């Protein structure tokens, strides 16, 4: 019996993974990451950095973020407390899903994780107060390569589960550029699952 449930999204390279939980009267145990088990859905990937974010208020929105080459990042995202609506946007020129997005609800209770490959913008909004998010990255943070796109860009048309006036944004995220003016540095490689 597999210790993982893997669910494809409408963008094949973005996958939802739910590790199996083993419970008893004390609570439960789960392997939230195991290189051997995760290699089937993720391919060969080496995570080098773990990040954690706390958001005090419901409606906190972080994104849409990515790192440009030569320091792109793939991410494996999960929720430690609370819940989020998580979004990945395909920025890979030549991809059949270029400019499209997928979203999924991740909860601490359910243990769902989403894999966001290199070449995607990523963002999320909190659905509950006091939400904590953790994610693994396969590249180190590189401030010179840090970039993003507007969370409410009409061309992308992400359907967030909150009204525009409910979104709590950082000053940086308030002024991210539009997708229509974006020249993507990412190229689609159909031979690689994490192109």
122 is catalytic: no
Distances (CA, A) of 26 to 23, 29, 79, 112: 7, 10, 21, 21
Phi-psi region of 10 (alpha: psi -120 to 50; beta: other; left: phi over 0): alpha
Strand segments (E) across the chain:
4-8, 15-19, 22-24, 27-29, 49-55, 61-67, 75-81, 83-90, 101-107, 113-116, 120-126, 131-137, 146-148
Of 65, 122, 124, 188, which residue is the catalytic one? 65
Of 122, 124, 135, 188, which residue is the catalytic one? 135
Tell me the catalytic residues: 65, 135
């Amino acid at each position: 019996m597999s210790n993982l449930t893997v669910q494809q999204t409408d963008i094949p390279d973005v996958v939802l993974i739910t590790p199996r939980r083993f419970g008893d009267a004390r609570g439960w145990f789960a392997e939230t990451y195991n290189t051997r088990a995760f290699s089937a859905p993720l391919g060969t990937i080496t995570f080098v950095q773990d990040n954690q974010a706390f958001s005090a208020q419901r409606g906190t929105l972080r994104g849409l973020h990515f790192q440009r080459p030569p320091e792109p990042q793939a991410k494996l995202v999960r929720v430690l407390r609370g819940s989020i609506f998580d979004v990945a946007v395909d920025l890979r020129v030549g991809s059949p899903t270029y400019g499209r997005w997928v979203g999924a609800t991740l909860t601490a209770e359910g243990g769902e994780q989403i894999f966001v490959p290199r070449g995607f913008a990523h963002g999320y909004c909190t659905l509950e107060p006091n939400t904590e998010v953790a994610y693994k990255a396969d590249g180190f943070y590189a401030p010179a390569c840090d970039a993003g796109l507007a969370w409410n860009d009409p061309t992308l048309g992400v359907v967030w589960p909150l009204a525009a006036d409910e979104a709590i944004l950082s000053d940086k995220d308030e002024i991210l550029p539009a997708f229509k003016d974006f020249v993507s540095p990412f190229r689609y490689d159909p031979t690689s699952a994490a192109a």
